[in-house]
Amino acid sequence: MKLSDLGESGILGLFREWAGEAGGPVLLGVGDDAAILAPSGEREIVVSTDAWVDGVHFSRDYLTPDEIGHRAMAGSLSDLAAMGAEGQAAFVNVHAPADLTLDFLRRAYLGLERVAGPCGVRIAGGDTVRGELAFDITVIGTVAAGAAFRRDGAEPGDLLVVSGVLGGSEIGRRLLAGQIRESMPDRLRVEAERAHRAPLPRFDVVRLLHSLERREVDVEAAEETVQSVRPTAAMDISDGLGIDLLRLCEASHVGCRIDARSLPVHPALHRIARLEKRRVADAVLASGEDFELLFTIAPEHEELLFGAARKASISLTTIGTIEEIRDGTTIVRESGDEETLTPVGWDHFRTTDADTSARSPRPGRP
């Protein structure tokens, strides 16, 4: 069955069926002119929107419909994680050609829900329009008043920290697209392809960061004080560490200094970079789509942060420090040489035709 056989009303009826009844923070979901969310009380509302376009952000040549939906929702919710927010609701606008099959759309929707559901997010509405295949996703979350993570709070001396490993998704995309001819052990191939097919927003890291507390005891006064410890700045890595780190520095009006030897490199990227005779650090800096978190934290909280991360089995890595803006942005190479860090990564409007041919489709900010 094709979408043209159902018409818009029929499609929206299926959306209501697939989304299920309203619940949690969603008082009224799919089916009316607008959704109704429960009041947030002492919490601030966080909203983000992303576009996911066929041939730019994903390819039907090597991704299944559910993988397309999965990646789109994961990338959208990653923006909420970057702000330290908890997801509440999502709104999905579908642009689709009339001859798209209903089975494709249903499977894509299942992929969207596969990520949204476990993250506590309800798909609460959306719209449909005839056109080239694309998904516009708006996500809504909440965070305690004053506790949101932002890009603009980094201070000189802060540590630069990333979650997970970097570069796996980019290698996975290239493997799936047939752009890598070098041999790859089966285990590494599966891991890299999974990193591209099924990323997850790092709400586990968000929960860890919100749980950090420093306790101090005043023996003379017999009093204990509890201080919340938060990142001074944060964002997700979607377009590449090289370009995203410099965006954070620009927002905070600071410089940075990173150590190429400390970057947490996915083993598949490490292998391919060596075979292609590329510097591993350069390959990592240019790789996006991992949706890991990049954040800064005051150095006196380092032991507290990494102790909590070990207990939670969450991998975090310090990759450098924040510097004064006058000191610029620097990468220390494996040789010890220092170079200026440049904004390598994905930019929709600054790539050449050659870049587009070699690297598309590739996600990024709309």
**226 has pLDDT over 50:** yes
Residues with Cβ within 8 Å of 349's Cβ and at least 6 positions away in sequence, in order, are: none
Whole-angstrom distance, CA of residue 221 vs CA of residue 42:
32
pLDDT at 84: 93
Q: What is the mean pLDDT of the chain?
A: 88
pLDDT digits (tens, 9 = 90+) for 130-161: 999 999 999 999 988 888 899 999 999 999 99
pLDDT at 219: 66
- The CATH code of domain 3-144 reads 3.30.1330.10
- Residue 295 CA to chain centroid, in angstroms? 13
pLDDT at 346: 73
**355 has pLDDT over 80:** no
Whole-angstrom distance, CA of residue 205 vs CA of residue 54:
30
List of long-range contacts for 20-25, beta carbons under 8 Å, 24+ apart? 22/122, 22/124, 23/122, 24/88, 24/120, 24/122, 25/88, 25/89, 25/122, 25/142
**216 has pLDDT over 90:** no
pLDDT at 348: 60
- The CATH code of domain 159-356 reads 3.90.650.10
Residues with Cβ within 8 Å of 36's Cβ and at least 6 positions away in sequence, in order, are: 26, 27, 28
Six-digit token pair at 145? 């008043």
Range with the lowest mean pLDDT among 47-56, 209-218, 271-280, 334-343? 209-218
Q: How do the domains of the chain map onto residue ranges? A: 3-144, 159-356
Whole-angstrom distance, CA of residue 92 vs CA of residue 137:
5
pLDDT confidence of 182, banded at 50, 70, 90? Answer: confident
pLDDT at 39: 64
**Element holding 47 (H helix, E strand):** strand 43-53
pLDDT at 357: 35
Residues with Cβ within 8 Å of 106's Cβ and at least 6 positions away in sequence, in order, are: 14, 18, 65
pLDDT at 343: 85
Which residue is listed with tokens 């694309």? 134
pLDDT confidence of 352, banded at 50, 70, 90? Answer: very low
Overall average pLDDT of the 324-336 stretch: 95
pLDDT at 362: 45
CB 266 within 8 A of CB 168: yes
pLDDT digits (tens, 9 = 90+) for 335-350: 999 999 988 887 765 5
Q: Report the percent of the chain where pLDDT is more than 70.
A: 87
Q: List, in sequence order, the alpha helices (H) in 100-177.
A: 102-116, 168-176
Overall average pLDDT of the 214-243 stretch: 86
pLDDT at 37: 63
- Residue 221 CA to chain centroid, in angstroms? 45
pLDDT at 136: 97
CB 297 within 8 A of CB 318: no
Whole-angstrom distance, CA of residue 141 vs CA of residue 45:
6
pLDDT at 25: 72
pLDDT digits (tens, 9 = 90+) for 61-118: 999 999 999 999 999 999 999 999 999 999 999 999 999 999 999 999 999 999 999 9
pLDDT at 31: 54
Range with the lowest mean pLDDT among 17-21, 199-203, 329-333? 17-21
pLDDT at 285: 96
Overall average pLDDT of the 22-49 stretch: 69
Overall average pLDDT of the 176-205 stretch: 95
pLDDT confidence of 356, banded at 50, 70, 90? Answer: very low
**257 has pLDDT over 90:** yes
Adjacent-strand bridge partners of 257 = 321, 330
pLDDT confidence of 9, banded at 50, 70, 90? Answer: low
Residues with Cβ within 8 Å of 97's Cβ and at least 6 positions away in sequence, in order, are: 3, 130, 131, 132, 133
